[in-house]
Structure 1
Amino acid sequence: MQRCISAEWLKLRHSHIWLIMTALPAISVLIGSANYYMNQGVLHNGWYSLWTQASLFYGEFFLPVLIAICCAYVCRLEHLNKNWNMIMTAPVRIAYLFLAKLIVVAALVFLVQLFFALLYYGAGKLFGLTGAFPAETFGWIARGWLASVTISAVQLWLSLVIRSFAVPIGISICAALIGLGMYVAKLGMLFPHSLLTIGMGAISQDRLTQADTILFLTMNTLFLAAVSLIAVRRLKKKDVSA
């Protein structure tokens, strides 16, 4: 397992994925900050108002797209030059191949979450926001990361099945829109992308109740386990398209 993870990191060493990982959160905060600046007349809740503006673009659109790009990229090499044939005959468990990619993407998204939090803090200081930095931010970042791992499993499954680099990203954009609709319809706990909206507090910063938190963790666990099992089973039972 460790060798699989090391191999995945090795493939990213000279890639340009880091540019995307920094650019998308930065663009999100810039757009959110511009909206906050232009609407300060009606946004009077300081740090929380800034969070709604920045996290809305980030959590609803940019982060799902970034996850899809990362997942498509870590599967890109396998789809080139018939590399799947070599990988599938290697003395490595199929489950390890999928889990190694998932762990690497989860680590990348964790770094992105930290970077977004730093940008949010910096933007607040530039605006001269008073009051204590909201402690809820750490919960939003952590829950957003957990939901991101769930979405990563879905996107990895798609990227393993679909050879195209762009198609899984397009599906992610559509899923983000569906997730927003599910959230508005009060069915957010039933769709991975809606879980990201809930976890990040992108629309509502109301504190989750204990029951809601347990349900949030349970649904993420179920989605993550189910999608991972489906992806691994497909790799075991179906011939790869090399």
Structure 2
Amino acid sequence: MLRSISAEWLKLRHTRIGLVLAILPVFSLLIGCFNFYFNQAALQNGWYSLWTQVSLFYGEFFLPILIAICCAFVCRLEHANRNWNMVLASPMPITSLFAAKLFTVSLLILAAQAFFMSMYWTAGRLFSISDAFPMETVVWSLRGWFASISIAALQLGLSIRIRSFATPIGISLCAVFLGLGLYVLNFGLLFPYSLLTIGMGVLSQQGLTPAENLVFMFMNSAFILLFGAWSIRCLKYKDIASS
């Protein structure tokens, strides 16, 4: 397992994935700060008002796209030059291969979350928000990261099956709008993209009750296991189309 993870990190060396991890959070934060700056008369709740602006674009749109990009990126090399054939013919267990990719994507998203939170704190200082920094936002960020893993498990399965780099990203964008609709209809706990909206506190900053937190954790865990099992089964029993 450790060798599989090391191999995944070696593939990311000398790539521009770090630039992607930085650009999307920066872009979303700039949009949110722009809205916050020009609507400060109506946004009077300090850090929480700033969070509503920056997390809306990041958690609802840019983060799911970032997850899809990372998943497509870690499968990019295998799709080139029929490398899937060599990988699947190696003695490495299929489960370890998928788990290593999921673990790698999870760490990349965790780094993006940490970078986003540091920029959020910096933006609050630049806006001279005098209130104490709300630790609830850290909890929301970590919950969003956990929800991201369930999305990553799904996106990895798509990226493994689909040779195109852009197609899984387009599917993720469509799923974002489906997740938003299910959230509005109060079915958010039944779809991983809606769980990301709930976890990040994007549209509602009300805290989850202990029971709701338990259901949130259970549903994310179930999606991770479900999509992980599907992806591993695809690798074991389905032919991978490679160029």
Shorter-normalised TM range: over 0.9
The unaligned stretches of length 5 or more in structure 2 are none
How does the TM-score come out when normalised to structure 2? 0.99
Partner of residue 141, structure 1: 141
Query: Are 1:202 and 2:202 counterparts?
Result: yes
The unaligned stretches of length 5 or more in structure 1 are none
| Distance in 2, Cα, partners of 1:93 & 1:135 | 41
2:97 maps to a residue whose letter is L
What displacement does 1:41 show? 1.1
1:42 maps to a residue whose letter is A
| Distance in 2, Cα, partners of 1:11 & 1:240 | 20
Partner of residue 176, structure 1: 176
- Cα deviation code 1:17-55 (max 9, x no counterpart): 111100100111100000001111111100000000000
Partner of residue 98, structure 2: 98
| Distance in 1, Cα, partners of 2:234 & 2:193 | 23
| Distance in 2, Cα, partners of 1:131 & 1:61 | 28
| Distance in 2, Cα, partners of 1:237 & 1:72 | 21
What displacement does 1:228 show? 0.3
Q: How does 1:41-60 map to 2 (within 5 A)?
A: 41-60=41-60
Partner of residue 219, structure 1: 219
1:53 maps to a residue whose letter is Q
What displacement does 1:238 show? 1.1
The structure 1 segments of at least 4 consecutive aligned residues displaced by more than 6 Å after TM superposition are none
Partner of residue 185, structure 1: 185
Give the SS at the match of 1:81.
helix
| Distance in 2, Cα, partners of 1:111 & 1:231 | 24
| Distance in 2, Cα, partners of 1:203 & 1:240 | 39
What displacement does 1:234 show? 1.3
What displacement does 1:241 show? 1.6
- Cα deviation code 1:98-155 (max 9, x no counterpart): 1100000000000000000000000000000011101101110110000001110010
| Distance in 2, Cα, partners of 1:233 & 1:54 | 38
- Among all aligned residue pairs of Structure 1 and Structure 2, give the percentage whose two residues are the same amino acid: 57
Partner of residue 153, structure 1: 153
Partner of residue 18, structure 2: 18
Give the SS at the match of 1:163.
coil
Partner of residue 235, structure 2: 235
| Distance in 1, Cα, partners of 2:241 & 2:137 | 43
| Distance in 2, Cα, partners of 1:124 & 1:36 | 10
1:79 maps to a residue whose letter is H
| Distance in 2, Cα, partners of 1:7 & 1:172 | 26
| Distance in 1, Cα, partners of 2:14 & 2:176 | 30
Partner of residue 3, structure 2: 3
Q: How does 1:72-111 map to 2 (within 5 A)?
A: 72-111=72-111
How does the TM-score come out when normalised to structure 1? 0.99
1:103 maps to a residue whose letter is F
